[in-house]
Amino acid sequence: MIKLMTKHKLKIKLLGLCGWLSFKWRRLPPGVYCFNYHRIGDPNVDDFDPNVFSASVEEFESQLQLLKQHFNIISVDELVIMTKSGAPLTDRYAVITFDDGYIDNYTNAYPLLKKHNIKAAFYVPIHYIDHPQIPWWDEIAWLVNNTTKTTIKLNSWTQGVALNIGTKKMAIRRVLEAIKKDSSVSMATKLEELRTVANITMPEQIKNKPLFMNWQQLKTMSDEKMHIGSHGCSHNILSYLSEQDQIDEVVNSKERIEQQLNIKVTSLAYPVGKKYTFNDLTMRVTKDAGYTLAFSYITGVIGSLAPNKRFQLQRIPVDFNSSKEHLKYMIISSKVST
């Protein structure tokens, strides 16, 4: 991953030197550029998934300044109003979203958002707020990071995932991707088997580490007009669930947030959010539950708010502890959906 990121930084530098970045930046098309963050801070502070750290505190503020300078930053609430109006997109809008509800969203991101008078959206899986615990993806990362095994293979996989190729960060990413794409058994079953295969047990002091915001913190942000949306109940991949279980996930999470924060929840971000994680049934269930729009984790710029697009809105992922230059490259490289 270090070599990969070094090559990527070199590519960005070369593109900048040849003027390509500046040329493309000046000609950004209109649309909604929705940026998706997860964690803000230092990925070296704990032993969980380093891949969910979007940016350091310093880089995040630098990115906010960049977006303020070059975009019309709007809230998801304003996007909802625009969606209902049906007006064409004639400007370059920026929307800032966070998935998963990590505590550093409140301690690190929220103060900077207030400082720059920017309204962001936070998508939370309510199970981890009501019952604080290490989420499945972070436990998987911990197991991969601490096992002495050199290969991980679950019974449902045709081949194993090597842990001794590249960095641990790369190994964690490969194992997580394999587990996410395996729809043959439940996440609970996969996680239980992984614990056995890894042959390691997470200590209680690690299990009890507070990773997520609580309802009072979410209420504080909501009262400051930050948008709070649903990320399901358990962060399960919705397309793998039965119709009734999908209904329970999107309805119960919506009702719980509305009850706790005394707000109307109008938007949802699909857990994991890639193409295989939601389908036509998921979008219908989401619409029937009373949401106005829903976000995926598919890279792209929103070029249309037409009714058939509102429940599969694309975002620009901000990951790998991104710099401002990398963010500019991601913006330029993202295609506008029509």
Domain spans in the chain, listed from the N-terminal domain onward = 28-132+212-333, 136-206
- pLDDT category of residue 44 using cuts at 50, 70 and 90: confident
Residue 13 has pLDDT above 80, yes or no: no
Q: Per mean pLDDT, which range of 140-149, 201-210, 310-319 is the poorest?
A: 201-210
Task: Give one DSSP letter per residue of 300-331, joined into a string.
Answer: -BB----TTTTTSEEEEE--SS--HHHHHHHH
Residue 19 has pLDDT above 80, yes or no: no
- pLDDT category of residue 85 using cuts at 50, 70 and 90: confident
Angle, alpha carbons 147-152-154 (nearest 5°): 125
Contact 331, 15 (CB under 8 A): no
pLDDT of residue 10: 52
The per-residue pLDDT of the chain, averaged, comes to 92
Protein fold of 28-132+212-333: TIM Barrel (3.20.20)
Average pLDDT over residues 42-61: 92
Joined together, the tokens standing for residue 75 give 């809230």
pLDDT of residue 11: 56
Average pLDDT over residues 118-142: 96
Residue whose structure tokens are 């936070």: 122
Percent of the chain with pLDDT over 70: 95
Residue 147 has pLDDT above 70, yes or no: yes
Average pLDDT over residues 278-301: 97
Residue 249 has pLDDT above 50, yes or no: yes
Residue whose structure tokens are 């793998």: 240
Side-chain half-sphere exposure of 208, counting CA atoms within 13 A: 3
Q: Per mean pLDDT, which range of 38-42, 55-59, 86-90 is the poorest?
A: 86-90
Residue 7 has pLDDT above 70, yes or no: no
- pLDDT category of residue 3 using cuts at 50, 70 and 90: very low
